[in-house]
Every structure is written in C-alpha cells, then in structure tokens.
C-alpha cells in the first residue's frame, strides 16, 4: 500500500467517524455544569480562524511559505479545539431554541410571529454551516496531506475549493452565535 493510499484511507475514516461521533454525542447528556459558558469562546475561535485563514492566503500569495504553513496548522488546531468545546457544551447543556424569547425551551406561535422570517434565515445559515463543516473535513485533510507530501500543484487545486468553504464555515459559525445568543439560558 503506497503512502497516498494510506492517507486516503485515513482521510475517509476520519471524515466519516467525526460526524458520526458528533451526532452520537449530541444524544448523550451529562449532568454536569461547566465552569465557563463556552459558546462565546468557541465562537471567538471561529472568528480567529477566519482571520488566520485570510492571513494565510495573504502569506502564500506573498511567498511566505513557512508563515502560511504555521497559520494553516493553527487553523486546524483551532478547529479541533472548537469541535471539542462544541461537543462538551452540547453534552452538558440543554439545546437553545432560536426565537425562544421567554426562554422556556419552546418557540410558541407568538414567538414565531415576533421573530418572523429571521427563523428561516437562521435555519438556512445554520444548515449550510453544518453541512459544509461536514464536507470540509476531507477537504482540509486532503489539502494538508498534499502540502505535507509536497504535491503543491494538487494542493493548490484542492485549496481553491477548501479555502472559501472553510472561510464560510468559520464566518457563519460567528453569525449563528450572534443570532442565537439572545436566547441562551446561562
């Protein structure tokens, strides 16, 4: 088995295992109150990731390869930390209902009327964020492996797809946080 096949298999495994494990863990609730409120922290990680992605693009366009490499590795690390915090929060906290103005855990008809079409905008942004974050896993891994193997032509091709999706996921993570933050119970 060649190096490419070895990485290809692991990329496929990781790309399937992460979303499946996250979905399973969403069904697990732990009766434990975290000492800090995580959503603004992991939202900040998304914001920082977006900024670093842009700086990494500028670095590579300026031929600052080592800086680009360090920035991209930092983006991957931040994304992993985000994921761990996101899982920890959802395992230890009740789900927040968008538009639940009185914070009783239910969005009733009156609340639906008050938030209007904002619910559909929120749901579109959230759903696209989630679906693209799942699609992003193999894209980031393939991009990283191709750079690691110094296959820069193919790295550049896949990165032209990966970058805008990753930036969208990072930015929409912040947007989703700001849209739902008025409804958090903490």
Structure tokens at 12: 């496929």
Name the packing angle between helices 152-180 and 118-148 (round to 10°). 150
pTM for this entry: 0.92
- Cα separation of 180 and 104, whole Å? 15
Q: Give the least confident one: 20-34, 47-61, 168-182.
A: 20-34
Contact 57, 107 (CB under 8 A): no
pLDDT (tens digit per residue) in 73-117? 999 999 999 999 999 999 999 889 999 999 998 999 999 999 999
């Amino acid at each position: 088995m060649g190096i490419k096949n070895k990485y290809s298999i692991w990329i496929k495994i990781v790309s399937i295992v992460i979303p499946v494990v996250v979905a399973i863990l969403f069904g697990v609730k732990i009766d434990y109150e975290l000492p800090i409120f995580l959503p603004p922290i992991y939202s900040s990680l998304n914001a920082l990731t977006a900024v670093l992605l842009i700086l990494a693009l500028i670095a590579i366009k300026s031929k600052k390869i080592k800086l680009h490499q360090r920035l991209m590795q930092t983006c991957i690390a931040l994304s992993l930390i985000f994921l761990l915090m996101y899982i920890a929060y959802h395992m230890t906290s009740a789900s927040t209902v968008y538009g639940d103005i009185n914070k009783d855990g239910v969005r009733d008809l009156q609340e639906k009327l008050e938030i209007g079409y904002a619910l559909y905008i929120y749901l579109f942004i959230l759903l696209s964020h989630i679906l693209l974050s799942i699609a992003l896993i193999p894209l980031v891994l393939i991009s990283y492996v191709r750079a690691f193997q110094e296959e820069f032509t193919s790295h550049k091709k896949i990165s032209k797809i990966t970058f805008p999706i990753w930036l969208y996921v990072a930015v929409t993570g912040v947007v989703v946080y700001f849209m739902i933050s008025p409804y958090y119970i903490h």
